[in-house]
């Protein structure tokens, strides 16, 4: 896959926005443990950056997924992990199913404002007892007339302290765990107030991704119309698995630039740091390790680009996307850890950029499906392990 002139122009626009409107504020947002999502998203919406792959009828640009990948890669220039993740939730995690299977009414009410940056969205899958085990969610939507009445909890929800709506995976009937779930659009806030029955139980304090707000949420008889369901009832698990393909490709692509930045910062520092009458960069061990890390990142790039090429061609890329997500998670641990070691005591300080990557990058092996889940998916696709029935 090769980026075209159009890809590069979008990347230039986004890079300029990052340099002028995001990076100057990152330290402040990290300290506050939240960033102004509505303000940032509105600016991005005005630049056309929140709907690159979404239908033109709802304000998007109607481009293929390679443009989303190009955007995700460019987000790696942001000097933290929390803000890029929040943007990725908006563009590639809570809106793909809505754009693909939502009714015209839902897309006009929720997708168009999300593309414009007038609304902030979040994705509601994980729960206190069901993270990577998506089929194990317990939140229920019972039918009452023309409405769903939703009760349960959602946890680890990015953007949730600011989100206007949630694309929620919820049990809408009894039956097999893979066939009783639906995706439902659930308003969380209207006119600045939370909807009846919805409560933020706790803002979760994390070891990294500090500028991204993450919440534990309670739903107590929250009423939404059944017409807010995305697509067919009972097809939510399938829709979410398809949505995961884009989420996992986004995760892999979004790490490429930041990992290369981490390596380059370390190279620059290694040339300056004096060690045993030479510089750190003169040590062959350091040279070899940084060369190995660069090779690993470029291997991830090749895998991610190839997966994207197959996805744009309309193929199921579950295997490719899973491999890319797994590799990205591993490298987000390995690269900052190795680089931090070369920074020595400076790497162990809070404000060091590499130490921030060390903290932020750890999530990549957990969020969106833990490494072990990725391995489980791959073993089933490879025919090594049996597929469980539920």
Q: How far out from the chain centre does Cα 152 lie?
A: 23
- Please state the φ and ψ torsions of residue 146, each to the nearest 5 degrees: -95, 10
Say how far apart CA 190 and CA 110 lie, in whole Å.
12
Active-site residue among 33, 73, 127, 247?
247
**247 labelled catalytic:** yes
Query: Which helix (H) or strand (E) is 332 found in, with range?
Result: helix 318-343
Say how far apart CA 150 and CA 10 lie, in whole Å.
40
Say how far apart CA 154 and CA 126 lie, in whole Å.
6
Say how far apart CA 215 and CA 195 lie, in whole Å.
16
Q: Tokens for 343?
A: 């920074």
Q: Tokens for 193?
A: 């107030």
Burial class (CB in 10 A: 0-12, 13-18, 19+), 325: buried
Partnered with residue 185 across adjacent β-strands are 167
Say how far apart CA 329 and CA 367 lie, in whole Å.
9
Question: What secondary structure letter does DSSP report for 226?
Answer: G
DSSP, collapsed to helix, strand or coil, labels residue 201 as strand
Say how far apart CA 4 and CA 259 lie, in whole Å.
23
Give the residue numbers annotated as catalytic, written as ranges.
247
């Amino acid at each position: 896959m090769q980026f075209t002139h159009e890809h590069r122009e979008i990347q230039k626009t986004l890079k300029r926005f990052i340099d002028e409107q995001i990076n100057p504020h990152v330290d402040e947002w990290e300290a506050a443990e939240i960033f102004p999502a509505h303000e940032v998203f509105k600016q991005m919406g005005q630049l056309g950056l929140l709907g690159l792959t979404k239908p033109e009828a709802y304000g998007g640009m109607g481009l293929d997924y390679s443009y989303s990948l190009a955007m995700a890669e460019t987000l790696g220039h942001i000097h933290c992990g929390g803000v890029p993740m929040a943007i990725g939730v908006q563009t590639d995690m809570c809106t793909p199913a809505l754009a693909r299977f939502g009714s015209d009414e839902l897309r006009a009410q929720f997708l168009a404002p999300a593309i414009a940056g007038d609304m902030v969205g979040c994705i509601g899958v994980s729960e206190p007892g069901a993270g990577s085990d998506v089929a194990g969610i317990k939140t229920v939507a019972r039918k009452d007339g023309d409405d769903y009445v939703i009760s349960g909890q959602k946890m680890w929800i990015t953007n949730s302290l600011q989100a206007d709506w949630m694309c929620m995976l919820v049990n809408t009937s009894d039956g097999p765990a893979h066939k009783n779930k639906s995706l439902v659009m659930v308003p969380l806030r209207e006119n600045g107030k939370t909807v009846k029955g919805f409560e933020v139980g706790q803002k979760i304090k994390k070891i990294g991704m500090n500028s991204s707000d993450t919440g534990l949420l309670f739903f107590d008889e929250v009423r939404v119309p059944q017409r807010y369901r995305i697509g067919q009832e009972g097809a939510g698990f399938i829709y979410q698995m398809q949505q995961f393909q884009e989420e996992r490709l986004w995760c892999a692509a979004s790490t490429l630039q930041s990992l290369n930045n981490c390596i380059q910062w370390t190279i620059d520092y290694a040339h300056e740091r004096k060690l045993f009458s030479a510089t750190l960069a003169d040590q062959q061990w350091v040279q070899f390790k940084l060369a190995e890390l660069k090779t690993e990142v470029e291997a991830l790039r090749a895998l991610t680009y190839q997966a994207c090429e197959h996805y744009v061609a309309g193929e199921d890329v579950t295997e490719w996307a899973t491999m890319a997500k797994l590799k990205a998670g591993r490298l987000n641990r390995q690269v900052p850890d190795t680089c931090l070691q070369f920074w020595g005591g400076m790497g162990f300080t809070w404000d060091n950029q590499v130490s921030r990557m060390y903290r932020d990058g750890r999530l990549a092996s957990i969020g969106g499906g833990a490494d072990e889940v990725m391995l489980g998916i791959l073993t089933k696709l490879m025919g090594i392990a049996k597929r469980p029935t539920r």
